Amino acid sequence: MKRKAAPEIVQPERDKDTIAGKLEDVLRGLGENPGRDGLLRTPERAEKALQFLTSGYAVDLSRTVNGALFDVKHDEMVIVKDVEFYSLCEHHMLPFFGKMHVAYLPKDRVIGLSKIPRIIDAFARRLQVQERLTQQVAEAIQEFTGPRGVGVICEARHFCMMMRGVEKQESSTITSAMLGAFRTQRETREEFLSLVQHRSLK
């Protein structure tokens, strides 16, 4: 009995000016065959993933926060902790990921709690460095809520240190941004640090 021939794999035609088209050239540059079965649609999948991972560039924070600012007479610290995030290092385009802790001292208004993770994602889904990401989140909270102070702590692990270079898988990096009372008042800063280190709810 004559065996049927395997169906011929047809490589898609790509516009070389698209991200997928350029990634096809990257695959060839790495010594791969973009026409083999496992890589046939990889450029399109990788383009879609990159567009999602950098979608923060298109976010209008004013529209994100709009309608979630409330006039409330509350002068105690508000903390949203352990907000996970994923970003891409701008130096190697490798992921870094971790958690962010955000606190602010309201003056005349508060922001909807769900908007803080959205602000974090808006800046994390870009090519980033951790130091700038931390500062941008703090400045955005400051801009939208006009508080007496903002504190942000970011703890992250970087694949550019874990998978290449020094290859230290257990290393982590901590950055902080302190604005207003969090910078000028030691007791405020220490209260924030103490509450962040407090055991989370299970």
pLDDT, tens digit (0-9, with 9 covering 90-100), for 27-83: 999 999 999 999 999 999 999 999 999 999 999 999 999 889 898 888 899 999 999
- Residues 73, 160 share a domain: yes
Average pLDDT score over residue span 10-21: 82
Tell me the C-alpha distance between 135 and 169, whole Å: 26
Q: Is residue 60 part of a domain?
A: no
- Residues 77, 47 share a domain: no
Active site residue 154: no
Residue 168 has pLDDT above 50, yes or no: yes
pLDDT of residue 22: 96
Which one is catalytic: 24, 135, 136, 158? 158
With bands split at pLDDT 50, 70 and 90, how would you rate the model's confidence at 13? confident
| pTM exceeds 0.85, yes or no | yes
Q: Is residue 58 part of a domain?
A: no
Q: Is residue 11 part of a domain?
A: no
- Residues 144, 100 share a domain: yes
- Residues 73, 26 share a domain: no
Please list the residues that pair with 79 across neighbouring strands. 103
Tell me the C-alpha distance between 176 and 37, whole Å: 46
Which one is catalytic: 32, 155, 160, 191? 160
- Residues 81, 25 share a domain: no
> What's the domain count of the chain?
2
Segments forming the whole domain that contains residue 135: 69-197
Residue 184 one-letter amino acid: T
- Residues 131, 36 share a domain: no
Active site residue 158: yes
- Residues 89, 147 share a domain: yes
- Residues 132, 47 share a domain: no
Residue 113: Cβ-neighbour burial (10 angstroms; 0-12, 13-18, 19+): exposed
Active site residue 89: yes
